[in-house]
Chain A
Amino acid sequence: MPSEAKEWSWEIKPATNIPHINLKELWRYKDLLVRLVKRDHVVSYRQTILGPVWVFLEPLIATYVYFLIFTGIMKVPTGNIPPAIFFLSGIVIWTYFSDTVTGISYTFYQNASIFGKVYFPRIIVPMSIAISKMSRLGIQLLMLVAMYIFFVAKGVPLRPGIYMLLVPVLILFTALYSVGVGLILAAMAARYRDVQNLMMFVIRLLMFATPVFYPYSLVDEKYRLLIGLNPLTPILEAFRIALFNSGSVSLVHMLYSAVSIIITFILGIILFGRVEQNVVDTV
């Protein structure tokens, strides 16, 4: 069938500035996505005694440490919400963000040898990281619920707010933001190794510029704008309104957060797509 000779199933062209996203092809690699998520879980806990229990232990230990520091030593007020659950609610969201960003930023660096040999849509790797961390977040949210029930049973007057319905959206936006920031960093780290060194430091600093351990309402007027610029701020605030019916966030602030997150995400996809095309030559 000579006519068929003209129907090509793929084409390799020089790199483009705006990456082309082939959803059909992405779908064909869905099994790889699932496999990478599984690998992440298996590898994390093989040869550990406690295994998946670490998913619970990590945030609990963190919560306890922060409880000691912020409540015990610094006496940060958390209103009528028990500090432990206040911190935990912040920590689970923050951990998702920082783990995902860190994981994704190493995409090119850690997979250089695979990327140098086999083609598959590179975006699968960051996607698998985001999903794998998301499943941990899911488990940790269950733990949060358990703690919530524990406090309610003890007679602490905790009452969820109407924002509860927004929680899936909040988590979605957290994920989009984490992936966006991670992709931007991955693209930069492919070119500048410096980014990796700087990143850990910046993420740690950023944690203090996010209302993880304190309510936004407590922030001094001088720094409100600065802290408010962080798109995670209204998300955490809304998350706490959903859980405890306490906190304050304006609609404008929410919209600002949503728009900047979407811009970050799109920017991340574009930068990542641009870098992935020839990254093998430079990494």
Chain B
Amino acid sequence: MATGNTIIEVHQVSKLYRLGSISSGTLKKDVSRWWEVNVLKRPDPLQKIDEDETGGKDILWALKDVTFSIKEGEVLGIIGKNGAGKSTLLKILSRVTKPTKGYVKGKGRIASLLEIGTGFHEELTGRENIYLNGNILGLTRRQIDAKLDEIIDFSGVENYIDTPVKRYSSGMYVRLAFSVAAHLDPDILIVDEALSVGDAEFQKKCMDKIHDVSSKQGKTILLVSHSMQAVQGFCSRVLLLEKGRLKYDDIPDKVIHKYLHGLQKKKKPQVYTNPDQAPGDDNIRMKQVYLTAETDSTGKIDVRTILHINFECWSLVDDLTLSVGMYLFTVGGECIFTVLSDSVKASKGLIEGRCTIPGNFLTDGSYTVSLTFFKNITEDIFYYEECLYFDVNDDPDHMAWYGNWTGFVRPKLPFTLMVKNKAFV
């Protein structure tokens, strides 16, 4: 467990991306820019961006002033939605790219399991690739020699170890790659949750290995995930990133609680009475988004409940061909599905929409809804992000019985078992 020594210190790390890219990418454009600025004395279009670092449209602070430290032996979870800055942080920690500002100091060797199979060459045999991959990941030949048998053994492809990997099935390829990565013996291991490779048996093997590294060897681990639940049982501390900033840094329960609490506020649907102040664009303004549930006497939403997602908006223009897309996300930011409405010809006034999610379809968890509004079917005019939040509870009658459900949805499909009273011949 944590011995108290700081092993990584991240100080005020920021990373700026210019969405238009620094140079325009081709020589021709750069030359024409040079021509315009230096010869025609026009203002430099890219210069403007540099001056206005905070508000520019084409720039993005993927990370902004992120400061934290990791102690030896700690299992740190990093969570956040897609685009929250997790992968940028990982790239900086694994030294693939440099921060724009700030610094990171650390001790020992970092290896990450997101780099499995990096540098594998199709033409080389499994054995040759183990050495190549190991060297790329910073091991010396002697270190690989010592671990070779263990790696081959773990991968389970010993019969094909001297065959070029281009003849491997994708499963074998991944197993071999993971095996090398898992035997790196780093001081700090970065694990990306997207490590959903191979079959179930192999995945279990991977998780066991990671558990092993953390509990028995006392190594420091960074587990990156967009699922709150994934980090809860595993980590001793969790960082929540939101839009490039470090939002929370605490024990898992507290971070998750705070995060959910933030969403809780969205549960109370806000009703706008005046289109002028309501969110929207020149065509439409949102009045409200709310949930109605066909609950039983308990009033609790569970997996069996039929849900209606309702919204009302004003059309500000006449002759508007409107259609709406609805996205349902998990609280971790995974999109579960998208539904597209029929289009409707609207004139000035109120428009009402409703999408029904059948009962026995969603699994338990927390969800957010986002809406996109389209004009003339194709032109997206307004994206109303996370306008609704709700929880779905587990089916109380079956909770103890089934345990954990895997998957994003839990549809109740016709699934019958039949007992045929016939003896074995």
**Which residue of A14, A34, A47 has the most chain B CB atoms within 10 A of its CB atom?**
A14
Whole-angstrom distance from the CB of A48 to the nearest CB of chain B? 11
Asked whether, in the complex, the Cβ of B114 is within 8 Å of the Cβ of A10, the reply is no
Asked whether, in the complex, the Cβ of B96 is within 8 Å of the Cβ of A119, the reply is yes
Asked whether, in the complex, the Cβ of B100 is within 8 Å of the Cβ of A39, the reply is no
A11-B104 contact given A42-B124, A281-B17, CB 8 Å threshold: yes
Residues of chain A from 1 to 36 with CB closer than 8 A to chain B in the complex: 1-2, 4-5, 7-15, 28-29, 31-32, 34-36
Is there a chain A Cβ closer than 8 Å to B311's Cβ?
A: no
Is there a chain B Cβ closer than 8 Å to A208's Cβ?
A: no
Asked whether, in the complex, the Cβ of A13 is within 8 Å of the Cβ of B96, the reply is no
Is there a chain B Cβ closer than 8 Å to A282's Cβ?
A: yes
Residue from A1, A4, A29, A34 within 8 A of B138 (CB atoms): A29
A192-B128 contact given A9-B107, A15-B98, A118-B94, CB 8 Å threshold: no
**Which residue of B4, B138, B139 has the most chain A CB atoms within 10 A of its CB atom?**
B138
Tell me the bound Cα distance from A116 to B92 in angstroms.
11
A39-B121 contact given A9-B107, A32-B136, CB 8 Å threshold: yes
Is there a chain B Cβ closer than 8 Å to A220's Cβ?
A: no
Whole-angstrom distance from the CB of B133 to the nearest CB of chain A? 9
Smallest CB-CB separation from B102: which chain A residue? A14
Q: How many residues of A contact B (CB 8 A)?
A: 43
Is there a chain B Cβ closer than 8 Å to A204's Cβ?
A: no
B4 to chain A: which residues have CB within 8 Å? 2
A192-B27 contact given A10-B106, A42-B124, A118-B136, CB 8 Å threshold: yes
Whole-angstrom distance from the CB of B255 to the nearest CB of chain A? 25
Residue from B5, B25, B26, B136 within 8 A of A4 (CB atoms): B5
A154 to chain B: which residues have CB within 8 Å? none
Tell me the bound Cα distance from A15 to B101 in angstroms.
9
Whole-angstrom distance from the CB of B89 to the nearest CB of chain A? 11
Is there a chain B Cβ closer than 8 Å to A113's Cβ?
A: yes
Smallest CB-CB separation from B100: which chain A residue? A14
Asked whether, in the complex, the Cβ of A280 is within 8 Å of the Cβ of B91, the reply is yes
Asked whether, in the complex, the Cβ of A117 is within 8 Å of the Cβ of B103, the reply is no
Asked whether, in the complex, the Cβ of B26 is within 8 Å of the Cβ of A194, the reply is yes
Tell me the bound Cα distance from A35 to B138 in angstroms.
12
- Having A28-B140, A43-B121, one finds 16 other A-B pairs with CB under 8 Å, namely A5-B5, A9-B106, A10-B107, A28-B138, A31-B140, A46-B164, A47-B123, A114-B136, A116-B96, A118-B96, A118-B137, A192-B23, A194-B26, A277-B98, A281-B97, A282-B23
Q: Considering the complex of A and B, which 7 residue pairs feature the smallest CB-CB distances, nearest first?
A: A119-B95, A32-B135, A12-B104, A117-B115, A8-B105, A194-B27, A192-B27
